[in-house]
Amino acid sequence: MVLAEWIREAENIVIFSGAGMSTESGLRDFRSFDRGMWNDRDPMELASTTAMEKNRDEFIRFYQWRIQEMLKLQPNQGHRILAKWEAAGIVKGIITQNVENYHEQAGTKNIAKLHGDLGTLRCMACGRRYACEDYLPPLSRTACACGGFIRPNIVLFGEMLPQEALELAEQLLQKADLFLVLGSSLTVSPANQFPVLAKQQGAHLVIVNREPTPLDPMADLTLHRSIGEVLGEADGSLANSKSRL
Ligand code: APR
């Protein structure tokens, strides 16, 4: 398996994950041809600053549903393999667009969360943090003690990405010699620039995605297959060679 060979030879592997990483946990992604969330809803009506202001009740219901789904489901084999590879020194860190906390739950430590964290809420006025469970019935807390509106601690369309996550992502990118994209349509900027920058600074670019992406032409290897299968095979091959695990 070519990917396993490249993993064995690489010294600085960085993972870039998207919503496709968590479909095998049962979470829906956004743009899969068959069941992506944005196939039948305009993201600007639900996941934007405008939606939060003008469509607040549906905005709150949407994120209550997403939090319930996240809490009900759990990390899959792919998340666990990546955490094992980080512990073994194979993976240096994960740049993720995902807001569910499955990489953390699986044990990965070095994570740049470009689009924030659905596990926490924050008050728009005073910045106070709350646990995501507070959004759910019976509490359904959306008003802070200070009177401000409590929202999910994620990046909405129309908002800047968190500086700290961008800095960590750039640090990881600098040294990457193998940049492995897992489950992203690579259609949302600026996140989708990271694979381009990795390639430009000399990393091997590998894209594992069920469907073609706009960056496939520049990739050194594209695998239009399931992430769980690909990571499972690579993990098995590495274990057999015993050189890296
Ligand atoms: N294995 C491999 N690929 C998969 C799997 C799987 N098990 N499941 C889904 N995919 C692929 C889909 O074919 C799709 O192309 O993962 C990709 C997921 O793409 P998107 O749904 O667009 O998710 P993502 O790229 O992370 O979206 C970026 O858009 O709405 C915003 O903020 C949101 O972070 C998100 C951003």
For 122, list phi and psi in degrees, rounded to 5: -145, 150
CATH 3.40.1190.20 fits 28-72+116-154, yes or no: no
Task: Please tell me the predicted confidence (pLDDT) of residue 171.
Answer: 97
Q: How far apart are CA 32 and CA 36, in angstroms?
A: 4
Q: Where do the CATH 3.40.50.1220 domains begin and end in the chain?
A: 1-26+75-115+161-245
Distance from the alpha carbon of residue 97 to the mean position of ligand 1, in angstroms: 9
Atom of ligand 1 nearest to the CA of 36: 21
Q: Are 245 and 239 in contact (CB under 8 A)?
A: yes
CATH architecture of structural domain 1-26+75-115+161-245: 3-Layer(aba) Sandwich (3.40)
Task: Please tell me the predicted confidence (pLDDT) of residue 241.
Answer: 79
Atom of ligand 1 nearest to the CA of 30: 21
Distance from the alpha carbon of residue 189 to the mean position of ligand 1, in angstroms: 13
Counting ligand 1 atoms within 8 A of each CB, the residue from 21, 30, 46 with the most, and so the one to mutate, is 30
Tell me: is residue 132 an annotated ligand-binding position.
Answer: no
Instruction: Give the pLDDT means over successive 10-residue stretches in the chain (245 positions).
Output: 93 98 98 94 96 97 98 98 97 98 98 98 98 97 98 97 98 96 97 97 97 98 98 94 58
Q: Are 94 and 82 in contact (CB under 8 A)?
A: yes
Which residue ranges have their beta carbon within 6 Å of ligand 1?
Answer: 18-20, 23-24, 29-32, 36, 43, 47, 97, 115, 183-185, 187-188, 208-211, 226-227
Counting ligand 1 atoms within 8 A of each CB, the residue from 29, 159, 207 with the most, and so the one to mutate, is 29
Task: Please tell me the predicted confidence (pLDDT) of residue 243.
Answer: 53
Q: Where do the CATH 3.30.1600.10 domains begin and end in the chain?
A: 28-72+116-154
Task: Please tell me the predicted confidence (pLDDT) of residue 1.
Answer: 78
Q: What is the pTM of this model?
A: 0.97
Atom of ligand 1 nearest to the CA of 155: 32
Task: Please tell me the predicted confidence (pLDDT) of residue 215.
Answer: 98
Point out the residues that are catalytic. Answer: 115
Q: What ipTM score was computed for the predicted complex, to two decimals?
A: 0.99
